[in-house]
Amino acid sequence: MKIAVLMVLFLVQLSTQASNYKPKRDTLFGYPIGQPYYPRPHDVHYPSHAAEKAYNAHPDVYVPTSPGYEPDADRYAYAPGYQNYHQAGQPSAAGIPVFFPSSSGPDVPPPFPARAKPRYPSPNNIINFRAYSTVEQIDAYLDYISDQYPDITDVKTIGYSGEGRPIRMVRIHPRTVRRNSNKPKILVDAGIHAREWIAPAVALYMIQQLVENNDDHRNITEQLEWHIIPLLNPDGYAYSMTTDRMWRKNRSNTTNPYCSGVDLNRNFDLFFGGLGTSSDPCDETYTGKVPFSEPEARALRDYATSLSNVRLYLTLHSFGQFFLYPWGFGDVLPRDWRDLDKLGRVAQKALERVRGTKYRVGSSTNLLGAAAGGSDDWMKGRAGIKYSYTVELPGGGEKGFDLPASQILAVSQETWEALKTMGYFILEERRRHRKRRNPQAGKRLDDI
């Protein structure tokens, strides 16, 4: 009898506590998310560290002395408030909130005010991610979003190719948000190598998600500026679609009348002509006569240097499934390689959770071998962008570069999860920086 009475009292007490319990409201960068944060263990390792030698001519070369460094990548892959959503059949991998759940109650601030859904979904005859888009279709899509979403996008021509095609860039940032020239920026390019068709496709998918689905991504469009160049090498890309599927370079004339084209990713002015390059115009890695001899490379250089506070640079390539960071010119590492490695592993984990695709993270030289004169090295070493990566997307087909069109959407979705997570990482970095300057700041990522 006493036991029964005690059990009843115990159950009543539990019921009372449950009715009065209010779960702690976790947030993602100051915004309420109704999911608690539980840290999870991790097991990550940096690959083989650089040999103990350095290029003394470069001011920012660091040779690590302690192998086995394990960055705390899971702290961001499982940041407070990250949730897994399965919205519209598109799985979210790393738990990035693709929308803010509706909440009720006086203690929960309201989500963002509702905004009109896409007015005119992009016509399937422009891009549909079931087939690779032509140069003309890419241009038509950029025209479409410029016309239909002028409040979110600025589409500009940043230069012209050797054959006179425009090199176009999409700047994504709502006009309703007060402009701030010092706002963190993310610069993305794709299609620097002609045959890597999946790279422009992923860049277009990024643009579609940030623009046409802007309601789902307002944190990373209002608090960041995205500058995306979906096709940097339009001449080579067009040539690979009409004449030579495995064409890699641009279509510039060279000193050899029988061999045209320069490898744009060897044409940048950082250890130009070094390891992994060729001075033979007939080789696929031909550097060109001098650094920035090619209009496509100059267009990217000039646009990058016109921007301030670019925190993240991404150049999309295929194939190989890597997140690569500098240096590519030799077997050495930047002084802040631990930071680069951490963010690379954050992206790696986010991507893997979509459908289990495995990527590797490390410096370009350590994982693929030296290749001097690349855009990622130049962006870090000359443009001063802290986080600079080459993203090697999956391969397929007979020669690796001809990934079947049936894989475009799946690869785009999983890659977007990784790149979106990197955007949230940059947001968190900004919040921490502001909080260090002012302890009262950084609680919510409003405009300064």
Q: Is residue 30 part of a domain?
A: no
Q: What is the pLDDT of residue 438?
A: 59
Q: What is the pLDDT of residue 123?
A: 64
Q: Is residue 16 part of a domain?
A: no
Q: What gap in Å lies between CA 11 and CA 346, rounded to an integer?
A: 44
Q: Is residue 151 part of a domain?
A: yes
Nearby residues of 440 by Cβ (< 8 Å), 6 or more positions away:
none
Q: What distances in angstroms separate CA 359 from CA 1, 186, 392, 396, 415, one per listed residue?
A: 62, 22, 9, 15, 11
Q: What is the pLDDT of residue 180?
A: 63
Secondary structure class of 316 (helix, strand, coil): strand
DSSP label of 108: S
Q: How many domains does the chain have?
A: 1
Q: How far apart are the first and last CA of the chain?
A: 66
Q: Which amino acid is residue 399, in one-letter code?
A: K
Q: What is the DSSP string of 232-254?
A: S-HHHHHHHHHT-TT--S-----
Active site residues: 392
Q: What is the pLDDT of residue 105?
A: 33
Q: What is the pLDDT of residue 16?
A: 54
CATH of the domain at 157: 3.40.630.10
Q: Is residue 412 part of a domain?
A: yes
Q: Is residue 63 part of a domain?
A: no
For the entire predicted model, the pTM comes to: 0.73
Q: Is residue 329 part of a domain?
A: yes
What is the spatial order of strands in the sheet that 185-190 belongs to? 153-160, 166-172, 225-229, 185-190, 310-318, 387-393, 322-325, 360-363
Q: What gap in Å lies between CA 314 and CA 436, rounded to an integer?
A: 27
Nearby residues of 408 by Cβ (< 8 Å), 6 or more positions away:
129, 130, 131, 132, 198, 201
**Angle (deg, nearest 10), helices 135-148 and 234-242:** 130
Q: Is residue 58 part of a domain?
A: no
Which residue range is the domain that position 163 belongs to? 70-100+119-437
Q: Is residue 286 part of a domain?
A: yes
- Other Cβ atoms closer than 10 A to 227: 22
CA diameter of the chain: 102
Collect the ranges in the chain with pLDDT lower than 70.
Answer: 1-3, 5-125, 177-181, 434-448
